[in-house]
Amino acid sequence: MSVPFFSTFQTTSSIENAPFVHLPRAKWVGAFDLYQWEGFWYTLPRLHATIALQNHFKSLDDDVILASSIKTGTTWIKALIPSIMADRILTDEQDPLLTNHPNVLTPSLEFKIYRENTTPNLSEMQSPRLFRTHVPYRALPESIKNSKCRIVYMSRSPKDTFVSMWHFLNTLRSDEEGPFPIEEAFESFCDGVSAFGPFFDHVLEYWKVSLEKPNKILFLTYEEMKHDPKGQVKRLAEFLGRPFEKEEEVDKVVWRCSLERLKSLDVNKEGIDPWEGIAHHAYFRRGTVGDWKNHLTDEMASRLDEITRMKLEGSGLSFQKV
């Protein structure tokens, strides 16, 4: 690994880390030490931040929290939520996405806010406050679970999520290193070992609460978003209490947040995310459904399909078969 990203994933001081050294540990994609805490895998900086978040975050009823497992298309929703919440009279020239990467508009609780400061003062943030997190449902602060704040959960088919994750992690490797062996990354994913994994446990926890409390958690899938972006964007806006009045408004938001447009903006073509240390462009790739076909063997696909079938059995959740 040869990019600054690595530093953000590396440990803090040994004194700070002392309480965690006894936790189960796994090497992930040959580079990251993950620690298993309360059933999920974290790097140490993320674990510190998650515990600080759990202990100190006070939710407001109008907060909006975007939650997801990694590489499920979160960046799309990071752009959509602020665009839906924004004043509808903003012109294209005033669109905040023109000058801000979506990571900035929907800041991360564990990569930015509680990483920089374990007791941040969030009282001056403009309301409604927008946050994002990869923290599993069980580890969220009680205040998020018990307040009236809304959670939008983004999910994606496991095969495309895995392939997207593998590509993303490869952007962090030098040319000399080349891509990480996909077979090894696949084994880890199937074993449930990935940052904020196991993937299926992450998805299922949010899914179950979304069924019990549909006004609390809106469960979105990447496949449905791709199939009917307008319909899903309207659904999202209604959930957020900001329904559209005109079709043109929906069209505008869908266009402003489209992969094609975001990819073409200078702000997303250049620069590095200061918190995660990752090149801005790495968040935008192909954005298709079924890209796994270009990377997984038939055997890998069948194996992951079988794991998916077993994990989701009886849950009522299924991902579009492509």
Rounded Cα distance between 268 and 202, Å, is: 28
Closer residue to ligand A3P, CB minimum distance, 42 or 51: 42
CB of 248 to ligand A3P, least distance (A): 20
Q: Which residues are catalytic?
A: 134
Binding pattern for the stretch 61-80 against ligand A3P, x by CB under 6 A and - elsewhere: -------x--xxxxxx--x-
Interior angle at CA 110, CA 57 and CA 171, nearest 5: 165
DSSP readout, 45-85? HHHHHHHHHHHH----TT-EEEEE-TTSSHHHHHHHHHHHH
CB of 55 to ligand A3P, least distance (A): 26
Paired residues of 32 in beta bridges:
28
CB of 21 to ligand A3P, least distance (A): 30
Closest CA to 66 of 125, 107, 117: 107
CB of 61 to ligand A3P, least distance (A): 27
CB of 160 to ligand A3P, least distance (A): 6
177: left (phi over 0), alpha (psi -120 to 50) or beta: alpha
Closer residue to ligand A3P, CB minimum distance, 54 or 258: 258
- Count of other CB atoms within 10 angstroms of residue 74: 26
Q: Binders of ligand A3P among 122-161, rule CB under 6 A?
A: 160
Q: Binders of ligand A3P among 166-195, rule CB under 6 A?
A: 167
State phi, psi for 77 to the nearest 5 degrees: -75, -30
Closer residue to ligand A3P, CB minimum distance, 51 or 115: 115
Residues in contact with 17: Cβ distance below 8 Å, sequence separation at least 6, in sequence order:
11, 44
Rounded Cα distance between 184 and 31, Å, is: 12
Binding pattern for the stretch 211-240 against ligand A3P, x by CB under 6 A and - elsewhere: ------------------------------
Closer residue to ligand A3P, CB minimum distance, 122 or 273: 273
Closer residue to ligand A3P, CB minimum distance, 42 or 292: 292
- Binding residue for ligand A3P, selected from 35, 131, 284, 292, defined by CB under 6 A: 284
C-alpha separations of 45 from 68, 102, 193, 276, 322 in Å? 18, 22, 17, 11, 36
- Binding residue for ligand A3P, selected from 291, 301, 307, 312, defined by CB under 6 A: 291
Binding site for ligand A3P (CB under 6 A): 68, 71-76, 79, 160, 164, 167, 257-259, 262, 283-287, 291
